[in-house]
Structure formats: C-alpha cells, structure tokens
Chains A and B, each alone.
Chain A
Amino acid sequence: MTLAVLQCTQCGTRLFPARYFCPSCGGHDWIERVVAYGTVSESTVVWHRASENAAHAVHLASVTTNEGPIVIARLEDPLQDGTRVRLDLDEVHRIVARPI
C-alpha cells in the first residue's frame, strides 16, 4: 500500500500522522497526498527492546518525505543518510523504506 500524508484544504499545511484540526489555521478538511519518495535523514539500529533478552536488530530511519512531513520507517538493510527511498505501508502496518 502507498503511504499518504494529509494536507489542509484551507491553508495547505501538510502533516503526518493525521489530526482533527489544522494547528496552523484551524481548518478541518483534509486531502490525502500520496508520498512518492523520501530521503533518509537519520537511521539507527535497535539492539535491545523492553523485556526481550535476545532481540534481533531492527533498522529504523527518520525519512523526510517529498511532501514535507517526516516519518519513522523500517529499513530492511542499513542505509546511509541522504539515501532516496520509496515508502510503502506493508500488511502489518509498517512504513517500510526501500532504496530507489
């Protein structure tokens, strides 16, 4: 599935995740804008998680979408900052970033 951010129809502010009211203008009508691509801003490897003793390493990134908002995404492999990625929403509702 594609990933979309929300754009306020009144002032154009783009946000993710969705809100009820626009923090900029108070508008409450939104249109979805599908994210075409993103750029990795930073990434990390999570080695330890709460109450897991032998956790598997999970690669995560902050990805700046071409629409503006920044999302947190799962990476399949480590990626350098600045890598351009495609963003999809997978079957378990993970935002997954894959290099283009």
Chain B
Amino acid sequence: MQPNNFDNVLIAAGVEVPYRRHAEPGSTGDLLAQAFSAALAQSGFAAKDIDGLGVASFTLTPDHAIDLAWRLGLSPRWCMDDCHGGASAINLLQHAIRAIQHGDANVIALVSGDRFEPADFKHLVDNYNLTTRTWLRPLENGGPNSVFAMLTQRHAKRHGLTRHDYGTLCVAQRAWAALNPHAVYRTPLTLDDYLAAPNVADPLGRFDCVPVVSGANAVIVARSDLVRGPSNVRVRALQCMYNMDHQAGDGLETSLKKIAGNLWRQAGVTARDIDMVSVYDDYPVMAIVQLADLGFAPDGDLRALLSRITSRELPVNTSGGQLSAGQAGAAGGMHGLVEAITQLRDECGERQVKNASLVVVSGYGMVEYRYGMCANAVVLEKARGGAR
C-alpha cells in the first residue's frame, strides 16, 4: 500500500473568470476556455504542457471533458468528468493528485463553470437527479430552497438560533465582499436589510439563498519539479466521504464530522492553527454546520463561532462567499478553493489575510432528496520556495 501523502505535487494556479448576474453572450465552453487561459497565464505553463483535464459543469452538455479537451487543443493522458456539484473541486483535486503521483499525468488543469439563462437554471433544478425529477419536481418545490428552509428550522431548533444568527453570517460575508472587486454583490448589508428582505421559503429570505450567476474557475495541479511560478500551494490533507447516512438522518451534520479527525491527523495540525477558511455556503446554515463539523466550535457554542467570524478573528469565506460573490453552478465548488489559493498566494488585495499560510477548504453538495450527499475537505499551505 502506498503511503497516503501529498508529496511531489503542487497547486500552481487558481483563477476565477468574473461572475456575472446576467450571462454575457457565449457558451459555457467559452467561460471554461477563459478560465483555462487565465490559469495557464498564472501558472506559466503552456497549453502543450497540459496532459490532464478535469471538468465539472452542469451546462456544458452535450459536450463532456473530452470535447472540451479537443476544443482546447489538448491531447490528455488523463481526462475526467465530475458531477459532484459543490464537492466537485475537491473530488477532482483528489484524483488529480494521485494521477500525478503515479505518473499518469504531469500537469493537470481542473476547470469548472456554468452559464445560465433563467430557463437553464429551472431545467437544472427540475432534473437534478432522478429522485428530484420523480419526487420533488411534481411538488413544484422550485429547487433546493424548500428543503434547506426545513433543514434551517431543524438546526435553529436544535441549537436555539434565530434568523438574526444566520443573518450575522450573511452580513459578515457581505462585508468581505465589499473588499472583493469581483463579488457580484458588494453593497454593504445590515442585519435590518437581511431581516426585511422578501421571503423565499420560510424561514429563508432573499439573502439566505445564493444568487445564481454565470462564471468559471480553474486550478492547475502539477508535479512539483515542473512548476514555473514562485508562488505555489501544497496539499497537506484531503478527505472525502459521500452518502454518510443515505439521506436517512436530519442533515444537521455532514460527513465532514466523520472525516475531520482523519483530516487534521493527516495534516498534522488542528482547526486552531488555521489562518483562513472557505466553507461551501449554499445557505448560511450549511456554512455553520460545516464549520462546526470541522471543529471550529469545539464547545458547541455556535454564537461564539459567529462572533469570531464577524470580528474576523476567524476569516471565513473572504471573497464574500457564494452568498455575495454568486454561485456559478458547478464552479461553486471551486470558488472557495480558488479564494483560499489566492489568499496563500498573497494576491487578495484589500481582503488579504495577513500571513495566511495554512487554510482549510470544504465542499458540500448534490442534494439527493432532503440534503446534500457529498462533503469533502482539503488543508492547504503556502509552499516554501517555488520554481527551481
């Protein structure tokens, strides 16, 4: 058995094609190609150096990863499609690292993104999977808001939280978004604005639900002796677990709760050592659940956790998160990863977390029936030294 390490691999780029509330003319493939170009430029690699491609997208259809590889002029030795929604980026990263360590590829581009017209999004939420199409679509549930509304009620009841508490997370993330020129929503948000917003699905209001946007992200993963740039990122730990409870629980814990012990052991650090966190924030309740599952509320005091987030003692979702920066479909899973990479590269401008050297990123997603099936997490650190 191979040692379960992450040696000899570096993340050499992490980029975002600016998200747009209203899609510009073009296709999903156009956005993914832009992300690919930007990632090449940041990494210093040329297209001919790329011998692996991983793709996550809901709207690339009828094309797949191999069609995109052809359009990008690539002859990959390793090529994969990924359909894990908000868990796709870390899932792809898991496979890419092993492919490189075992010689199946040397430099892999991972791209994700979606371009939505309103009808595209409705088609996606109505046909998300067979369970949704069979059991939820006939109810006119209108996508995942309704099930997360009920999940939020369960969570509020169990932990004694109110709308006010969930709102503090949205307000804190919007304050970060004000410092991110690429966030779709940057206007400061007050708790009163949050509480006064129109209801979407009780108790969720407009600011509890991610704005759907069009956009793309990309990451380059490379054999460490091949990297060209001075600023790279090392993986210290990565864990995935899917279908922890087969949708028979209450959704108030994700599989992060089960994998957190192995994650921190593998990384050789604890949650207390972390400088910045990206958690998958499709709804504020899920961001809070993931933070707790990862060990950021060791005493179970979620209000104390929220106040550490508001004060920025614990920098969480510094791009503004998807709640302010937008959710570009399958790119949503890569958005937080790219933000964490950008923090480690010291390229976050006004929102840069000082001396950020160790971060954790989580992914969550793919609602089968009542909540997400997938969760995963990766611990990243700034690589010392750089290209040789």
Contact = CB atoms under 8 A, between A and B. Distances in A.
B135 A95 contact: yes
Contact of B153 (A15, A42, A94): A42
Given A47-B199, A62-B370, A74 B142 contact: no
A73 interface: yes
Interface residues of B, number: 34
Contacts, number: 94
Interface string B57-68: 000000000000
Interface of B: 118-119, 121-122, 125, 131, 134-136, 138-143, 145-147, 149-150, 153-154, 198-203, 212, 243, 246, 248, 369-370
* Residue of A43, A55, A60, A95 contacting most chain B CB atoms (<10 Å): A60
B251 to A, nearest CB: 10
Contact of B139 (A43, A47, A60): A60
Given A15-B246, A41-B150, 18 more contacts: A15-B248, A17-B369, A42-B150, A43-B150, A44-B146, A44-B153, A44-B201, A48-B145, A49-B140, A50-B118, A58-B139, A58-B141, A60-B150, A69-B248, A70-B370, A72-B139, A72-B147, A93-B135
* Residue of B121, B139, B149 contacting most chain A CB atoms (<10 Å): B139
Given A43-B150, A44-B201, A49 B136 contact: no
Interface string A36-77: 000001111111111110010010111000000111111000
Given A48-B200, A51-B118, A70-B370, A42 B154 contact: yes
Contact of A17 (B135, B141, B142, B154): B135
B138 A46 contact: no
Contacts of B122: 50-51
A49 B150 contact: no
Contacts of B131: 17
Nearest to A81: B153
A94 B138 contact: yes
Given A60-B146, A72-B135, A73-B139, A47 B198 contact: yes
A92 interface: yes
Main secondary structure of the interface of A (DSSP, over half): strand
B59 to A, nearest CB: 14
Contact of B201 (A23, A46, A51): A46
Interface in A1-52: 15, 17, 19, 23, 41-52
A72 B150 CA distance: 10
Contacts of A42: 150, 153-154
A58 B142 contact: yes
B149 A72 contact: no
B140 A46 contact: yes
A21 to B, nearest CB: 11
11 contacts: A41-B154, A44-B153, A44-B201, A46-B200, A47-B201, A48-B145, A50-B121, A72-B147, A74-B139, A92-B138, A94-B139
Nearest to A23: B246
A93 B134 contact: yes
* Residue of B119, B140, B246 contacting most chain A CB atoms (<10 Å): B140
Given A23-B246, A46-B146, A51 B369 contact: no
Contacts of B134: 17, 93
